Chain A
C-alpha cells in the first residue's frame, strides 16, 4: 500500500476523516494525492481512498471516473493535455495537435513507447489570450508554435531523465 501514498499522508487523511462530519468531501483530494505520488490511480488506489475515508469503493470510483484529470489507467511520466476548445482552434490548435501526435508518434489517449509522454485533449485551460495552449502536469504553456512545443518536449524529456 505504501507505494500508493506515503505513510504520513495516509495518517493525515485518516486523522482528518475522523474529525469532519462528511469525510467523502475529501475523495477528490485523496485521489489527487494518490495520483501525485503514484502517477495514476490503480484499483488499489480507489480501495485505499475508500478505506481511509470510510466510504464504499464504488463511491470513490464514480468520482475517479468522472474527472478527466484523474487517470484511471497507466500514463507516462508527463501527461500532455492539449486544448481543443474554440480559442485554441481559432489559433491553429488542430495543426498543433497533429504536430504533437506526429512528433511523439502516438494518438490521443496513448503513451510513448519509452513511457515518458501521454497525450490527451482537454477543454479550455483558461489561457485563451495565449492560444494555442497546453498543460503538462500543473503547468500551462501558451502562445505555442511547433518549434516551441519541440523545445518544451526536449526540456521535459531531460527532466524525466529519459
Chain B
C-alpha cells in the first residue's frame, strides 16, 4: 500500500517469499547483531521502551512479559512462537510467513538472547504447510550463516529452533493449550498460576509470543525505539500493524498500516469501501472474539487503548466488515457456533454454556424467539463471562454481548415479527 511505511511487509511480493539473500540485503539480521552487543537485560528494556504489544490478540506488553521471565535461572527453558492463527478473520501471520519468514527467525533469536533461552519451537497450524516449509528453509539458512546454532555470531550464546506442525483446533492458540499440544498431551488449557514463565513446556520456564510480535522485534534494534514508536499515529500505539481485511469490502487484502490509523481510513482507503456501494453496518475490528463496532465508532484509532475505549478490542486486527443487508443475529449465531464447536470441553461454562447460547440464537433467528429467551441470553452472557477456565468462552461472549447492547432493536424485531427481518 503506497503511502504507508512498510516495515514487516517491505520484502513482500505476490507469490514469492523473500529468503536469506533478499532479507540480508534489506537489513536482515542487523537487529540481531545490534542486540548481541547489548546485555540481555538491555535488550528486554529496549523492547519495553519500544512499547511493543502482543499481536496475537491479548495485546500484553511484550517487554513486560519478557521482564517476568526467569532469564538467569540455569537449565532448560523454551521459547515458543504461536502460529496457530485460527481466529476467524485473521490471516496476517499467514501472509507474513508467506512473504518474509526470516523476520520470525531473527525476532526469536533476539528474544532467546534477551531471556537466555536455548531452545525454541515455531508452532504452526495444519493449514499453513507452505509457511512451515518457508520457516524450515529460513531456519536452515540461518543455521548455515551462524544466526542460529550453538554459538550465534561468535557471541557465546546458543539457540536452536524447530518447527511443529499441528493438526487443527482453535484452542491450540491458547498458550497453555499450545504447550500441552507440543508435549503430546490433550490440548486443554492449563490453570494459571503457575504461568508458563515459571512452569511451561515440560515444566520448564517458557515464553510464548505471536508470530507477528516476534517479527516486530528486529526492527526495534535496527531503527531504534524512538523510530519504532513514531511509526504509530497515536501516542498510545507503537509500530505498525498487519491488518487483514475481510467481509463485505471492495478489497479484502492484508495491509501493513501505522498503528493508530482510524478504522474509517482503513475501510475507505485500503478496503475501497463497502462492496456494491452498500452502507456499512458493523465490523468485528480484531477477530471473531472482539465486540462489534458500528458506524458511530468508525473514527476510532486502531490501537489497544482507543479500541477498548470504544467498547471493543484491537485483538488480531483482522477486520471483518458487514454491510447493511447483514442480519446481526445470524452473524452472531455463526460466531457462537464456531466457539461452541471449538470449545475443548474442559470447563462447564464453555462446554455447556456456549451450546445454550447457540440454541437461544437459533431460536431467535429462526422466528421462535421470545422476550423470555432474550432474557436468558442476557443471563448466559453474565454467567459465562469471567467464569470459564480460559479466554475462549470469554471471547465468545464479545460479539454476543455487543449484539445485545448495540443491536438490541434487531433482536427484538426478530421476536416481534416471529421471523428474521433480513430474509
Contacts and interface: CB of A to CB of B under 8 A. Distances in A.
A123 B88 contact: yes
A128 B88 contact: yes
A91 B167 CA distance: 26
Interface hub of B86, B89, B169 (most chain A Cβ within 10 A): B89
A40 to B, nearest CB: 13
B165 A85 contact: no
A63 B252 contact: no
A126 B284 CA distance: 16
A69 B128 CA distance: 13
Contacts of A128: 88-91, 244, 246, 252, 318, 320
B266 interface: no
Interface stretch (B17-25, B56-64, B184-192, B373-381): B184-192
28 contacts: A25-B182, A25-B183, A25-B184, A28-B164, A31-B167, A55-B184, A59-B184, A63-B185, A63-B186, A66-B169, A66-B344, A67-B168, A67-B169, A68-B167, A68-B169, A69-B126, A85-B88, A86-B288, A87-B89, A90-B326, A123-B338, A124-B90, A126-B85, A126-B91, A126-B94, A128-B91, A128-B252, A138-B126
B166 A67 contact: yes
A104 interface: no
B184 A86 contact: no
A127 B91 contact: yes
Nearest to A66: B186
Nearest to A26: B184
Interface string A127-142: 1111100010010100
Interface in B256-308: 284, 288
Contacts of A27: 184
B153 to A, nearest CB: 28
A156 interface: no
B334 interface: yes
B91 A129 contact: yes
A22 B246 contact: no
Interface string B110-153: 00000000000000011111000000000000000000000000
B185 A24 contact: yes
Interface of A: 21-22, 24-29, 31-32, 55, 59, 62-63, 66-70, 84-87, 89-91, 122-131, 135, 138, 140
Contacts of B318: 128
B245 interface: yes
B271 to A, nearest CB: 10
B215 to A, nearest CB: 16
A22 B76 CA distance: 13
B87 interface: yes
A21 B335 CA distance: 40
Chain B interface category by residue count: 35 or more
Interface string B62-94: 000000000000000000000001111111011
B362 interface: no
A22 B202 contact: yes
B179 to A, nearest CB: 11
Nearest to B331: A86
Nearest to B333: A89
Given A28-B181, A68-B167, A86-B320, 13 more contacts: A22-B202, A68-B169, A85-B88, A86-B247, A87-B89, A124-B90, A125-B127, A126-B93, A126-B125, A128-B246, A128-B320, A131-B252, A138-B126
Contacts of B166: 28, 67
Contacts of B187: 66
B346 to A, nearest CB: 11
A7 to B, nearest CB: 23
B373 to A, nearest CB: 23
Contact of B184 (A28, A70, A138, A140): A28
Contacts of A123: 86, 88, 170, 338, 341-342
Given A28-B184, A87-B320, A124 B165 contact: no
Contacts of A87: 88-89, 246-247, 320
Contacts of B170: 123-124
A94 B183 CA distance: 36
A135 B284 CA distance: 24
Contacts of B248: 90
B331 to A, nearest CB: 7
Given A28-B181, A126-B86, A129-B244, A86 B334 contact: yes
Contacts of B320: 86-87, 90, 128
B253 interface: yes
B254 interface: yes
